[in-house]
Amino acid sequence: MLTLHHLNDSRSQRILWLLEELGTPYEMKKYQRMETRLAPPELAAVHPLGKSPIITDGDIKIAESGAIVDYLIRRYGQGNGKPAMMPAPSSADYEVYNEWLHYSEGSAMLPLMLHLYVSRLKEAGAPLHPRIDSETANHLGYVDGALKGREFFVGNSLSGADIQMSFVGEMAKIFDKLGPYPNLSAWLSRMHARPAFQRSIEKGGPYRFV
């Protein structure tokens, strides 16, 4: 049985959304953050990193969001009337798609996570904010430009790129950074309106990231 090990208020939310979009049967095991906002020790029994999301599928165990998105779409998103959710590997769009999968965590999330942690330092972190804000604006501006005139990141339908990039939009919204980026803001609203996204919130519970 395909199992999602789901931690509240985490990147696992986008995997839950993807599973709902794919419509493939799955089991969800829920874990709650501790008062420290860290993951509970029970997750370390599933994977040495003790992080979420994690999926298990028979003997397969995967812990990284991008790898999970890639695996689920290749394994469960093809044929039988299910949405493909990725371009054909031989197409030019596939390279764009693959870049977004890696860009989300490889580049875009870094300044947003720095903002999260440095903000907790209060006045001690003030000297770092101008550089963090500059990098955040650089990446959000890039993403906003890529979405100009587009409904989705790649092609004309939802893909794993949209799933993977959703956490960037979520964090930008939480930090009240979306104002200058209307294309990104509108895209996030469209994703939130999808029935599968709404089902994922119903099943995973309301979430907050700070």
What average pLDDT does range 121-133 have in this prediction?
Answer: 94
The chain-wide mean pLDDT, for the chain, equals: 92
The pLDDT, as a whole number, for residue 206 is 72
Residue with tokens 């979306």: 178
What average pLDDT does range 52-75 have in this prediction?
Answer: 95
The fold of 92-194 is: Glutathione S-transferase Yfyf (Class Pi); Chain A, domain 2 (1.20.1050)
Q: Which residue has the higher pLDDT, 80 or 67?
A: 67
Considering the chain, tell me which residue range(s) the CATH 1.20.1050.10 domain(s) occupy.
92-194
pLDDT band per the 50, 70, 90 thresholds, residue 80: low
| pLDDT tens readout for residues 142-198 | 999 999 999 999 999 999 999 999 999 999 999 999 999 999 999 999 999 999 999
Buried b (16+ CB within 10 A) or exposed e, 139-155: bbeebbebbeeeebbbb
Considering the chain, tell me which residue range(s) the CATH 3.40.30.10 domain(s) occupy.
2-84+196-204
The answer on pLDDT for 209 being more than 80 is no
The pLDDT, as a whole number, for residue 205 is 79
The pLDDT, as a whole number, for residue 207 is 66
Q: What is the dihedral of CA 126, 129, 130, 131, to 10 degrees?
A: 130
| pLDDT tens readout for residues 12-54 | 999 999 999 999 999 999 998 888 888 888 998 999 988 899 9
3, 56 contact by CB (below 8 A): yes
The answer on pLDDT for 3 being more than 60 is yes
HSE-up of residue 94 (Cα within 13 Å, Cβ side): 8
Class of the CATH-defined domain 2-84+196-204: alpha beta
CA dist 2 and 134 (Å) reads: 41
The pLDDT, as a whole number, for residue 83 is 65
What average pLDDT does range 116-135 have in this prediction?
Answer: 93
The pLDDT, as a whole number, for residue 76 is 92
The pLDDT, as a whole number, for residue 34 is 86
The pLDDT, as a whole number, for residue 84 is 81
The pLDDT, as a whole number, for residue 81 is 55
